[in-house]
Amino acid sequence: MMPSSLKIVKYPHPALRQKAQPVQAITDEVRRVAARMFELMYEHEGLGLAAPQVALPWQLIVLNFTADPDKRDNELVAINPVIVESKGSVVGREGCLSFPGLYQNVRRAKTVKVQAYDLQGRLYEMVCHDLPARVWQHEIDHLHGILFIDRMGSLGRERSARELQQFIAEFEADKKKGLISADLVAQL
């Protein structure tokens, strides 16, 4: 697999519904994939990107809560991340790089404590509130095949119905044109 060929897949690509598997070893390939994911995340002005969004069923997330490629100190790589504690509840506007242009209110925990491994294989723990907590929850959901549309209230889902139909129509059209390769998913 060539990390440089990785692209962000859009809803309703089936890779987004796959359950990601734990990363067993931090190889050069994992490092190259993470670097490519940062590239894609910055290109699309995201705060986080999960491996299933590049059609890889790996428990791997990249994050930068500043979304600023010049602020590399803020980059986080999360391998096999888990939320070990969550508190409170808050509604906020949310989008997803796999649903370009779609934003809706989603209720999330206000505070989360996360454990993950970094690219050096060191376990770290982090407590986040508000927006960073929201990003963690959104990205970790991706690893379980859960999308933000699943977390919307009925009003948000109703308001998204037309956009979702459009994403499905575009996906079907791209598939007919041969632009979407199902092999991507098996490309490990």
Catalytic residue among 39, 139, 158, 170: 139
- For residues 12 and 26, which CB has a smaller minimum distance to Co ion in the complex? 12
CB proximity list for 2: less than 8 A, separation 6 or greater: none
Q: Which residue has the tokens 């490092």?
A: 31
Question: What does the alpha-carbon distance between residue 93 and residue 110 come to, in Å, rounded to a whole number?
Answer: 13
Min dist CB 134 to Co ion, Å, is 11
Give least dist CB 57 to Co ion, A.
15
Q: Which is nearer to Co ion, 96 or 106 (CB)?
A: 96
As to burial, measured by CB atoms within 10 angstroms (0-12 exposed, 13-18 middle, 19+ buried), residue 20 is buried
If phi > 0 it is left, if psi is from -120 to 50 it is alpha, else beta; for residue 55 that is: left
Q: Give catalytic status of residue 75 as yes or no.
A: no
Q: Which runs of E-coded beta strand occur in 88-170?
A: 90-94, 104-108, 111-117, 123-129
CB nearer Co ion, residue 30 or residue 141: 141
Q: Which segment (54-62, 91-99, 116-124, 176-184) binds Co ion by CB under 5 A?
A: 91-99
- Smallest distance from the beta carbon of 93 to Co ion, in angstroms? 14
**Interacting residue with Co ion among 96, 109, 128, 152 (CB under 5 A):** 96
Give me the residues that bind Co ion (CB under 5 A), please: 96
Catalytic positions, written as ranges: 139
